[in-house]
Every structure is written in structure tokens, then in C-alpha cells.
Amino acid sequence: MCRLVAYLGEPETTLASLVLEPEHSLLVQSYAPGEMMSGVVNADGFGVGWYAPWSGEEPAVYRSDSPLWADRSFAGMAGKIRSSGVFAAVRSATPGLPAEESGVPPFASGALTFMHNGAIEGFRNGPMRLLRNSLSDESYAGLLGVTDSETIFALVLDRLREGADLEEALRETVRRVSGVCEKLGRRGTLNLALTDGRGMAFVRHSTEGAGNSLYLLEDGEDFPGGVVVASERLDGDAGWREVPDRHLLTVGGERGAALRPLSY
């Protein structure tokens, strides 16, 4: 299980403004999360990806298998880095999966950055083989670890290579993963986040029962002109809205933030 936060907006914001400074920041959520469905802390690593257009389309990514609260280097630089597109997460490794950097979100490939909050039940005993056997050679060769999250990202990349946009890629991937979970009688919690630095797409979904929490804030008091999406509300701003279960959220373009039921 993980906690995540994302930002997109014309005003650049610092990494610290999302990860360290709010009253219920990602840092606080690493040791005192309020709405996690399993686990009690997120001590198995953290990561941040951000876009700097002057350096090209690919994001910069900082990942560690240490707890966020123990990384003095990140704390020292987070207030000095600004970006208009940020993905960040803290990790609580799913039981049975290793706590190593290869499993720490966000994951990146080319211009794309991806996060997954949730788990596929009994992933390494059945679902892993079925899902990985369906990957293209290119996506399979890019796998570094054994997590469900990295496998889901590989599925997303295959859909994008076939011409899907961000929204379509997430929808088709949820359909594929949900089908495997149903076939094997496993539960899958699939809060997914995907960005290319210009737009973002999110899914809140569970194959059975309630999904993990997800919230949206537009033009917030501390983030004017921007959109923040987070597993838990970062502060007491009255503008936070809950993303409904089994919904897809897109951010960017002329529509701003748009919510619609997830169908696949």
C-alpha cells in the first residue's frame, strides 16, 4: 500500500510544498497516514518525479528505499526545486513483495511517469505470470523487479505504444488486470496515476469492495492555479473533493479536471 500526491499547474510549485510542508503532507503520511486500508506506516521507500521543460520531455526522478523522514538530502533540496508537474509517493511494501528501490514509485519510462496505490492479492502466485506473459518483448525486457505496480506500468506502456492516450491506457489496463483478478478469484485495488508532464490521468478502482481513498483540489488556497490529486487531503482547505470509487479523473487541457465513471 502507498500514499501518493500529484500536481499540475501553470504556476510552478516546490517539491517541498507537496511533500514536506502541508499539515498532512506526504511526510506526515509516511508515519501517520489517516486512511490506509492496510498497513500502518509507509516506511519502505519514497520517490518523487518532476518535469523541467528546459531540460527535455523526460522527468527527473529521485527514489530511495529508505523512509522519507530519514532522507536529509531530499529535505535539503526539496524547497529549491520547482516544477509545474510533480508525482510523489511513499511506499508500504505489500506483504510478500521485497522492499527495494525497484518497487518504489513513481516509475518512469521516456516522458511518462506512473504510480499505483493498492495491491493485487497473491500477486506472485498466479497473477504475475498471467499478466507478464501478455507483455510485449519491449515491456517485458524493461522490468527490473517483481512488484505488481511495475507490471501494471508495463501493461500501460504497451497500450500507449498501440496508440492509446493516457485515459484509454489506464482504462484498458484496469480491464486487463480486473479480468485476471476475476479469473483467479483475487482482489485487486487499483488506484493508478499516469502523466506525460502535460496532462494527467487517474483511476480509483477496486475489483470488489471499496477502493483506496483519492481526493482532488482545484485552485486551492496554497496551490492557486494548480490541481492537486492525493490519497489523503494535505490540509484543511474546504475545496478538497473525494474522487468517487470506480471513476476516472483527467487533468489538463481546456477541460481542467474532469471526472467520469470508469467503464471497460
Pull the grid cell for residue 220: 486551492
What's the CA angle centered on 92, arms 102 and 149, to 5 degrees?
45
Cis preceding linkage at 244, omega within 30: no
Sign for the pseudo-dihedral over CA of 116, 118, 120, 124: positive
Q: Are 142 and 109 in contact (CB under 8 A)?
A: yes
Eight-class DSSP state of 59:
P
Task: Look at residues 262, 199, 200, 198 and name the one whose alpha carbon lies nearest to residue 230.
Answer: 200
Q: Are 255 and 47 in contact (CB under 8 A)?
A: no
Residue 228: CB atoms within 10 A of its CB come to 29
Q: Which residues contact 92 (CB under 8 A, 6 or more apart)?
A: 1, 2, 36, 38, 39, 41, 42, 43, 44
Q: Which residues contact 134 (CB under 8 A, 6 or more apart)?
A: 155, 176
Q: How far apart are CA 202 and CA 144, in angstroms?
A: 24
Give yes or no: 2 in active site: yes
3-state secondary structure of 108: strand
Active site residues: 2
